[in-house]
Amino acid sequence: MKSYNPEAIEKKWQGIWEKNETFKAKDNIDQKKFYGLVEFPYPSGVGLHVGHIRAYTSLEVISRKRRLEGYNVLFPIGWDAFGLPTENYAMQTGKHPRKVTDDNIKVFTSQLKAAGYSFDWSRTVDTTDPNYYKWTQWIFLQLFKHNLAFKDKTYVNFCNSCKVVLANEDSQNGVCDRCGNEVVQMEKDVWFLKIREYADKLLDGLNDVNYLPRIRLEQENWIGRSYGAEVDFKLKDTEDNLRVFTTRPDTLYGVTFMVMAPEHPFIKKYEKQITNLDEIKNYQEESKKKTEFERVQLAKSKTGVEIKGLKAINPVSGEEVQIWIADYVMMGYGTGAIMGVPGHDDRDWEFARKFNIPIIEVIGGGNIEEAAFTDVEDGILINSGMINGLRVKEAIEKITDYLEKNKLGERKVNYKMKDWAFNRQRYWGEPIPIIHCPHCGMVPVPEEELPLLLPNVEHYHPTDTGESPLANISEWVNVKCPVCGEDAKRETDTMPQWAGSSWYFLRYIDPRNNDAIASKEKLEYWGPVDWYNGGMEHVTRHLIYSRFWHKFLYDIGVVPFPEPYAKRTAQGLILGSDGEKMSKSRGNVVNPNDIIDEFGADTLRTYIMFIGDYEKYAIWNDSSVKGCKRFLDRV
């Protein structure tokens, strides 16, 4: 028997597919459709890796099967080419990001075609193409016009190495996602998108889609919806209230201290009443040196300083309560202040013990001398005035009714998710289409002037001041205000790398449309995506961001379906043969090109599909690759 010759056979059929446009999707025909989507890649300098192969092969199999079943299949691919990965690689190599992007796209295209995927190459999109980012900018303008984009001065996560502001999602564990260096806190003017206003829609929409349970759980935890009450503690001898959010208003009688974030505005407002102001200011300065992760996650031993001269009044007991500042409380979360109930919270108990603050038990059953009693989902209230003897659920309702009736608080839904920090002080991104006028304020670039082109510059490296390199291009920055005609300046920050990927699945539907994101007819035919596959690392960033943008577009009538993806799955990692994550430093990286050259694309894809449970990690095994080749030889 002649052995299977993959090089000859695969190249022959790949040529036939390309010539005949075998996998080109047809629009608006009377045929049931299937839209299969894979995460489009960053065209990095290292080319495809086996993680791409695992992610793409699964939907490749499904797409081919759907074609055999009579479906009209849309299975597209494109390039997520703006952002830090490309720009950092450009700086490492000394090439311009445009040149890097174009070269890398050619490499990726060649590799994907060699792998034999049945992509519809006629619909390829590139986020750096002005005809594409025209619509990214257009979506931003709609968000701005609907008051969902705003600018505010705040403390942000800043990477001193990349010279860029990072969203929480891009700086988890206190380090930059891209370079791995430490992130610090810096006060800057930042663009935000009000994703929190869509928190309920994002959570409730999960009931209408088919996502893996772990993906759904990740999204639910990231958004972090909680029900409770906002409660006002009057600041003694002032007209102000210190407002806190709590999920357990039934424990109000157990409050023995309050904690404010070091950045809380009341500290400056009442500094004349504070008798230990120098101590407070020293603590504030030390807090600025810590990242948010260090303050919230790493702080095993809690620090803090009592604000002497300020007291709060417990709204239900009338007792005076100490007020402290501590860096584990963040101004950007909730109200920037919390109430301490050391009898029933481990962190509060440790804080109270350390600083000799009284501890009161208000739900019976524990030994608060030894530890906080936290098994309090149910129980009987004690030492709690009007709610003594009630069970927890009943006590929560009664005390909240009392707060609302007496204008001491109100029922409230809170979210852990913060608004999306949306700007970057880098060159390689979509220019934000806003003009700053000293008379008119922030003015949108007229839609007919889109795309606002990214200027072609020689010097694109980030500045040491934290400003975007675009700020140095005076002929680009200085413009006339489109409203009043006076001298004005362009916004010089660019959008984050997540912008272009937040709507790319829509552009595949009608990629050459110059008048709209896509035509209504094509959107109604192809939408939503029937099956989307990608990495777990993107389910709390890209997946939430793209659902947010899509729901906004649905609300303003641009798209006819409320959820972008009907189904979402995720593949597990492929580890090196040593069982460790693949990396150059470990020398365990597998290059898919090498496998294709030696064994053929069919062997590689067959092995990937049989490597193990799709959702779990798998260890690479060269012997099994050879086994798949022997199997194909027999077939």
Phi and psi, residue 18, nearest 5°: -70, -45
Q: 334: closest CA among 418, 447, 430, 408?
A: 418
9-53: per-residue pLDDT in tens?
889 999 999 999 999 999 978 899 999 999 999 988 778 888 899
In this prediction, residues 250-277 reach a mean pLDDT of 97
Residue 371 has pLDDT above 60, yes or no: yes
For helices 622-634 and 601-609, angle between their N-to-C axes, nearest 10 degrees = 110
290-324: per-residue pLDDT in tens?
777 777 766 567 899 999 999 999 999 999 999 99
Residue 520 has pLDDT above 90, yes or no: yes
Residue 379 has pLDDT above 60, yes or no: yes
Residue 109 has pLDDT above 80, yes or no: yes
Q: Distance between CA 495 and CA 429 in Å, rounded?
A: 6
- Overall pTM surpassing 0.75 (yes/no): yes
Q: What residue spans define the domains of the chain?
A: 6-129+501-634, 225-390
Percent of the chain's residues with pLDDT above 70: 98
In this prediction, residues 614-619 reach a mean pLDDT of 90
Place of tokens 């090196």: 576
Tell me the fold of 6-129+501-634. Rossmann fold (3.40.50)
pLDDT band at 277 (very low <50, low <70, confident <90, very high): very high
Please state, in angstroms and as integers, the Cα–Cα distance from residue 320 to each residue in 315, 383, 631, following that order: 10, 16, 79
Q: How far is CA 261 from the centre of its chain?
A: 24
User: Which pair of structure tokens corresponds to residue 69?
Assistant: 């079943």
Please state, in angstroms and as integers, the Cα–Cα distance from residue 264 to each residue in 50, 284, 331, following that order: 48, 10, 6
Tell me the fold of 225-390. Isoleucyl-tRNA Synthetase; domain 2 (3.90.740)
Residue 408 has pLDDT above 80, yes or no: yes
In this prediction, residues 60-83 reach a mean pLDDT of 97
In this prediction, residues 496-520 reach a mean pLDDT of 97
165-222: per-residue pLDDT in tens?
776 657 777 788 778 888 877 778 889 999 999 999 999 999 999 999 999 999 999 9
Q: What pLDDT score was predicted for residue 464?
A: 73
Q: What pLDDT score was predicted for residue 47?
A: 83
Report the SS3 class of residue 458: coil
The DSSP string of 499-535 is TGGGSHHHHTTSTT-SSSSS-HHHHHHH-SBSEEEE-
What value does the mean pLDDT of the chain take?
Answer: 93
Residues 582, 37 contacting (CB under 8 angstroms): no
